[in-house]
Amino acid sequence: MILVARQDLPLSRFPTLLHFLIITALLLLTGCELFKEKTVELSGSALGTTYSLKLLGIPESVDVRELHDQIKIVLNAVETSMSVHNSNSEVAQFNRHTSDDWFRISENMFQVINEAQTISNASEGAFDVTIGNLIELWGFGKSLPPKSIPNEKNIIRAKHTSGYKNLQLSQSSSSIKKSIPELTLNLSAIAKGYAVDSVAEFLDEAGIDRYLVEIGGELRTKGRKQSGKFWLVAIERPEIDKRSIYKIIRLTDMSLATSGDYRNFYEIEGKRFSHTINPFTGRPVENNIASVSVMHPSCMQADALATTLMSMGYESGSQFAEDKDLAVIWILRTENGIVEKLSSRFDSNLFQ
């Protein structure tokens, strides 16, 4: 018997709509401020998940409806470039490309892949966007969850068609090429964060300098709310059967991304398999990390680093975070319940 708790979100490791609901509730609790300055809220669906924006200090010359239309164009550009669920996307076309010729891609997609390779090198392969075949094998891409646990032979075969060192980049021509014909990309662990950054940069260009952008739980803030207050965002308690707040964090000019094992998963024969695939074992990660959240100026980097640390496990990941001076909060499962761990860079004074 298979128990499925995943949601088919193409570019989302796990949907965290709770973040959006919590942020909305917190704004309502301080509703008296809304009379001082109007908060414009925009929301919708994109990248197979939901998005929400809260904007302050919009110039009078900006038409909000037109602004929202332009934001949708920004989000659609990311989806049509990087979603494996879109058969005409750049990444889907590259995955079908079986020669070792250079394959020209957009500058935006090149930026994402270049950052992915940088993190792959820094983590010695703990983060790897070339494991598309493994993701499909385990049913966390386009395919549905398998009816039985993949056998070792198929896992080994899929592993042999991956490896970040088998992907080459040419910055001068904005091109990539594979040294293994069957190699496929899946950018779901970094593209959502990139989309957040893209919307934020668009808002900057539009003259909006106070905002909160959230896509599927990954978010980025700039400036402060009314009366100089921080934006308040929530880290979810890692529980499967209900949604509740674990911690509220005050943010400004910062991004926050979370990876966890309690939303996008399925069960086969009584064993739970979460969506994060360990590139070294070719299997879903098995460790005591319930969730890991990373604060970083770049949401794209925070997004990828959260997956990296989830894949590494706490011991290796905590050392990596210290070496890279990353602001990280882990929630670990122990015999005595959940335990919180912070990296040295994480400022506990940001907790509400």
Q: What is the pLDDT of residue 226?
A: 78
What separation in angstroms does the CA of 182 have from each of 103, 114, 127?
Answer: 15, 20, 19
Q: Which of 176, 138, 172, 178 is nearest to 158 (CA)?
A: 138
Tens of pLDDT, residues 113-155: 999 999 999 999 999 999 999 999 998 888 888 888 999 999 9
**d(C-alpha 113, C-alpha 261), whole Å:** 25
Tens of pLDDT, residues 32-72: 443 456 789 999 999 889 999 999 989 888 999 999 999 99
| Residues 6 or more apart in contact with residue 94 via CB below 8 angstroms | 103, 105, 176, 178, 185
Residues of the chain with pLDDT under 50: 1-18, 20-35
Q: What is the pLDDT of residue 21?
A: 44
Residues facing 244 on adjacent strands:
none
**d(C-alpha 300, C-alpha 341), whole Å:** 23
Q: What is the pLDDT of residue 93?
A: 97
Q: What is the pLDDT of residue 12?
A: 41
In angstroms, what is the C-alpha Rg of the chain? 20
Q: What is the pTM (predicted TM-score) of this model?
A: 0.88
- Angle, in degrees to the nearest 10, between helices 299-312 and 107-122: 40
Burial of 236 (0-12, 13-18, 19+ CB in 10 A): buried
Q: What is the pLDDT of residue 66?
A: 97
| Residues 6 or more apart in contact with residue 87 via CB below 8 angstroms | none
CB 182 within 8 A of CB 98: yes
